[in-house]
């Protein structure tokens, strides 16, 4: 779902002015105030809520945790001369069970901005959709799109206020603005990195193996798409928690384009036949 046609009322505009400073990578505490109309989550009613959350949620593979989070996915994004390629798998797991093979792990924030999902599905989905709402408020207030850097900074600031509370999120914010293509990695600890190539998830080790072998900035568009497709395929072939379909996007100056959805089973036979 895109946020391009949501939140057009005058009341929503009252909070948009607090976001303007972020376009210059400036942190503003007003963004977290009640005046900004933000959603807030109540902390556990104990002296140290962060320690309480960590003791009950499997954030770092604690065997005695009451809530155990199963992490498994493969997402990647990289820049090249004609834009950015974004690729993900589509498998969702619940312990040792495959819960779904058709999960959409790309959030379409607006026509020029995409976010990927790795970690807790609920955390990624909620915070990236909240990011979409705030980006739309910025557009309405300033009559221009928010930059990729500012959008990633906004997401990083939002999740940092809940650091240590059990959030599980590793996302890439990808898009095109006045400065050209932009790619950032943001996680639930508030870490924010700018780069040209990222892969996140349990299958990222295998994806990096393919990317490091064949990636170069001056790839042609068809070759870049094939590299993203092949990297996700190899990750799903070796990682039990990744699979389903390869979902591909190409981000260009005039916005993102959905390339397609391809079954990794069919890709397996295609690549096996090519090798023979």
Give the active site residues. Answer: 73
Residues in the chain: 276
Question: What is the C-alpha to C-alpha distance for residues 71 and 120, in angstroms, rounded to an integer?
Answer: 7
Question: What is the C-alpha to C-alpha distance for residues 95 and 112, in angstroms, rounded to an integer?
Answer: 35
Question: What is the C-alpha to C-alpha distance for residues 238 and 232, in angstroms, rounded to an integer?
Answer: 10
DSSP 71-88: ----EEEEEETTEEEEEE
Are 118 and 223 in contact by the 8 Å Cβ rule? The answer is no
Question: What is the C-alpha to C-alpha distance for residues 3 and 130, in angstroms, rounded to an integer?
Answer: 10
Question: What is the C-alpha to C-alpha distance for residues 35 and 22, in angstroms, rounded to an integer?
Answer: 17
Nearest Cα neighbor of 83 from 218, 263, 213 is 218
Question: What's CA 222's distance to the chain center, in Å?
Answer: 23
In sequence order, the 6+-apart residues with CB closer than 8 A to the CB of 139 are 110, 145, 146
Question: What is the C-alpha to C-alpha distance for residues 233 and 74, in angstroms, rounded to an integer?
Answer: 10
Strands (E), 69-215: 75-80, 83-88, 92-94, 97-100, 106-110, 113-116, 170-177, 180-187, 192-194, 197-200
Question: What is the C-alpha to C-alpha distance for residues 219 and 202, in angstroms, rounded to an integer?
Answer: 26
């Amino acid at each position: 779902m895109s946020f391009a046609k949501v939140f057009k009322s005058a009341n929503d505009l009252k909070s948009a002015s607090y976001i303007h400073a972020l376009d210059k990578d400036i942190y503003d505490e007003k963004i977290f105030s009640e005046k900004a109309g933000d959603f807030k989550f109540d902390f556990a009613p104990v002296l140290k809520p962060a320690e309480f959350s960590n003791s009950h949620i499997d954030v770092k593979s604690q065997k005695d945790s009451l809530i155990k989070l199963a992490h498994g996915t493969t997402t990647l994004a990289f820049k090249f001369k004609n834009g950015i390629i974004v690729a993900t798998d589509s498998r969702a797991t619940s312990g040792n069970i495959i819960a779904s093979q058709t999960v959409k792990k790309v959030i379409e924030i607006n026509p020029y901005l995409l976010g990927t999902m790795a970690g807790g599905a609920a955390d990624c989905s909620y915070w990236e959709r909240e990011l979409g709402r705030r980006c739309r408020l910025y557009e309405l207030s300033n009559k221009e799109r928010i930059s990729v850097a500012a959008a990633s900074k906004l997401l990083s600031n939002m999740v940092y206020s809940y650091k240590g509370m059990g959030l599980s999120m590793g996302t890439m914010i990808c898009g095109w603005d006045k400065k050209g293509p932009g790619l950032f990695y943001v996680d639930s600890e508030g870490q924010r990195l700018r780069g040209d190539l990222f892969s996140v998830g349990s299958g990222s080790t295998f994806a990096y193996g393919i990317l490091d072998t064949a990636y170069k900035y001056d790839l042609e568009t068809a070759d870049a798409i094939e590299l993203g497709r092949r990297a996700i395929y190899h990750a799903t072939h070796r990682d039990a928690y990744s699979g389903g379909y390869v979902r591909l996007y190409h981000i260009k100056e005039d916005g993102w384009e959905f390339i397609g959805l391809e079954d990794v089973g069919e890709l397996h036979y295609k690549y096996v036949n090519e090798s023979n």
